[in-house]
Structure 1
Amino acid sequence: MKKIYVIHENSEWTNHLTSRLDELQLPYEEWFLDEGMVDLSTEPPEGVFYNRISASSHTRDHRYAPELTESVLSWLEFHNRRILNGSRALRLEVSKVNQYMALNASQIKTPKTIAAVGKEQIIKAAEKLDKPSFITKHNRAGKGLGVQLFHSIEALKNYVYSDSFEEPLDGTTLIQEYIKSPDQSITRCEFIGGKFVYAVKVDTSKGFELCPADACQVEDLFCPVGEKEEKPMFEIIDQFSNEMIDQYESFLKANKIDVAGIEFIQDENGVIYTYDVNTNTNYNKDAEGVYGKFGMLELAKFLGEQLDEI
């Protein structure tokens, strides 16, 4: 029997989807790819294969999950199986450099960014960027890991040459201009089947680790904020409309990405900068409960439609 195969390495993020697949009585199987093997001489089963491997897999001791998944996806693609978020999507998931180049190829504006390997090169990159405030981030991260805000080269040096410096998994640190939002927020647009579903306003006043699944928060040692009145971190924007939606949908189609969350920030002059593409997207249940629309349910329906087609 043909079924839906969910490729992942984190049950905590995937249980919300499988519960919806159960609700819709759709046949599925989980492929948990923290480790394993791929017999390239055999043919894969028939079905729909949905890739949910995350760039942050190494934070869960699944260091080689993306590499194993790339082998599996290559095998599936050779046999022309129906794949959602295939090898091209995975390549963009694990490299922000690849993301930015792909976004720029689609004429989508990104913040000025310099990639650097080596501590001295990180400092030189920040000097070359020549911005009053800037952000460092890991090329391969997920969940906003490694993102720090600095207001001077001296502060960056103190961090880079301290014990608290976080070495990127692939050795590549990005130095990026800091785009200041007037209301300290970013917008995340969700897409399923390459089509826009809804947009979420995300409060960034408490830091940069903004995974909607677990609302990770860390203390920002470099840019402390004062106490503010409590408000939801994630709020779905009712009847969201923006010219970027068409551009994002074209970008997803060009890069064979079926399911994604794309994040942008708008500066005080109204200029939009796109800075992250999440091909392993998650949804915030509290925000969805208020809005009455549920990403994992829509995703499960889409997977069912794909299964019907084959």
Structure 2
Amino acid sequence: MTDLAILYEHPEWFRPLFAALDRRGVSYRAMTPDGHWNPADLERPAPVAFNRIAMSSFLRGGATEHPIFHAAALLDHWRRAGARVVNGPDVLAIDASKARQLSLIASLGLAIPATRVVHRAADVAAAAATLSFPLVVKANIGGSGAGIVKFDSMAELRAVIADGELPTSIDGVLLVQDYVPARDGASIRIETLDRRFLYALDVRGGGAFDLCPADACVVPGQPIPMTAIRPAPGLVEAAERIAGAMDLDVGGVEVMIDDRDGVPRFYDINALSNFVAKPLDVLGWDPHDRLVDYLVRVIEETR
């Protein structure tokens, strides 16, 4: 049996991870969630399984053939079979729900954008009436900026509702949310590993919603400016609290400084950290090496 099974679906994103594992001589199985599995078969694929399923997989698999819910059941099955699952099914369940993410963050006493959660298009206007414009309507399950639309007035929103052109989410849940003007147009993405600070980026999106810093998320010819930073201690401590509360093995926490009042508003947790593009240029070191250190430690703990 190999030491590690990696469940993934994107054909390109994890080449740096596989290369880092190869350099260290770690035996692993790279597995996609396609095909079938037997719920009565309690054989684990490896002592340690690593979940690398992206929420944006629905953009590649479509609304009906994406692997998100299938993978959640498979990871839970592997855990029942005795595998130690890194970023396991409980983490995936929160990763796959922006509503649950915001609830968790708010429960820690941290600020979030004012948000209303609905499951019917008929409730969107009433939810919006409790907020101020501009606002956004976003899919509960999104990725790479998908499923987010900004509205500047109730009339504009009602017209889109009447035309049946609201964003849709593969789980049927929508968020109606205050549009936060980010100070300097910046989002801060704080990456954590084993629930501790790993690194952070100042990401300048210029009002765009796709702020993924990985190579595969960047539109050719439209690079996203990003700079390695050390955030204020309070932001680092908050990100570590979020990771601890979620039991997040590896992932990013995103926060914006609200330009209206200077309040940091945490708005997203991303359990799929495929890390920054060109890490040696941006960070001066490769976070995949730290991730492999962590995976090796977890493997040794299971022996």
**What's the TM-score, normalizing by structure 1?**
0.88
Q: Aligned partner of 2:89: which letter?
A: S
Q: Residue 252 of structure 1 aligns with which residue?
A: 243
Distance 1:250 1:165, change over 3 A: closer
The correspondence for 2:225, drawn from 213, 233, 246, is 233
- 1:270 and 2:262 are equivalent in the alignment: yes
Q: Aligned partner of 1:104: which letter?
A: A
Cα pair 2:218 2:224 within 8 Å, conserved: no
Q: Residue 210 of structure 1 aligns with which residue?
A: 211
Q: Deviations over 1:141-191 (max 9, x none)?
A: 112211122221122233334475432212222110111122011100001
- 1:261 and 2:252 are equivalent in the alignment: yes
Give 1:265 deviation, angstroms. 0.5
Q: For residues 37 and 276 of structure 2, what CA distance do their matches in structure 1 show?
A: 34
Give 1:120 deviation, angstroms. 2.7
Q: Aligned partner of 2:281: which letter?
A: G
RMSD (Å), alpha carbons? 2.2
Q: Deviations over 1:28-55 (max 9, x none)?
A: 1112013422343332144211111122
Cα pair 1:117 1:173 within 8 Å, conserved: yes
**What's the TM-score, normalizing by structure 2?**
0.90
- 1:292 and 2:294 are equivalent in the alignment: no
Cα pair 1:3 1:46 within 8 Å, conserved: yes
Q: Residue 145 of structure 1 aligns with which residue?
A: 146
Identical counterparts, % of pairs:
25
Give 1:244 deviation, angstroms. 2.5
Q: For residues 14 and 206 of structure 1, what CA distance do their matches in structure 2 show?
A: 28
- 1:191 and 2:181 are equivalent in the alignment: no
Q: How does 1:1-310 map to 2 (within 5 A)?
A: 1-61=1-61, 63-129=65-131, 131-162=132-163, 165-213=166-214, 214-216=216-218, 233-237=225-229, 239-268=230-259, 269-286=261-278, 288-310=280-302
Q: For residues 243 and 39 of structure 1, what CA distance do their matches in structure 2 show?
A: 45
Q: Deviations over 1:1-37 (max 9, x none)?
A: 4411111111221222111111222111112013422
Q: Deviations over 1:211-246 (max 9, x none)?
A: 22233569xxxxxxxxxxx98522211x43321322
Structure 2 unaligned residues grouped into runs of 5+ = none
Cα pair 1:143 1:216 within 8 Å, conserved: no
Distance 1:34 1:114, change over 3 A: farther
Secondary structure at the counterpart of residue 157 of structure 1: helix
Q: For residues 152 and 177 of structure 1, what CA distance do their matches in structure 2 show?
A: 12
Q: For residues 209 and 297 of structure 1, what CA distance do their matches in structure 2 show?
A: 26
260-269 or 250-259, larger mean C-alpha shift: 250-259
Give 1:85 deviation, angstroms. 0.6
Secondary structure at the counterpart of residue 58 of structure 1: helix
Cα pair 2:95 2:269 within 8 Å, conserved: yes
Distance 1:290 1:249, change over 3 A: closer
Q: For residues 176 and 122 of structure 1, what CA distance do their matches in structure 2 show?
A: 10
Distance 1:290 1:280, change over 3 A: closer
Cα pair 1:113 1:174 within 8 Å, conserved: yes
Q: Deviations over 1:249-268 (max 9, x none)?
A: 23322322101110000113
Q: For residues 123 and 265 of structure 1, what CA distance do their matches in structure 2 show?
A: 26
Distance 1:100 1:25, change over 3 A: same
Q: For residues 287 and 148 of structure 1, what CA distance do their matches in structure 2 show?
A: 31
Q: For residues 183 and 295 of structure 1, what CA distance do their matches in structure 2 show?
A: 27
Secondary structure at the counterpart of residue 13 of structure 1: coil
Q: Where does structure 1 differ by over 6 angstroms across 4 or more consecutive aligned residues? A: none
Secondary structure at the counterpart of residue 199 of structure 1: strand
Secondary structure at the counterpart of residue 137 of structure 2: strand
Q: Aligned partner of 2:298: which letter?
A: Q
Cα pair 1:196 1:249 within 8 Å, conserved: yes
157-166 or 272-281, larger mean C-alpha shift: 157-166
The total of aligned residue pairs comes to 297
Q: For residues 186 and 166 of structure 1, what CA distance do their matches in structure 2 show?
A: 23
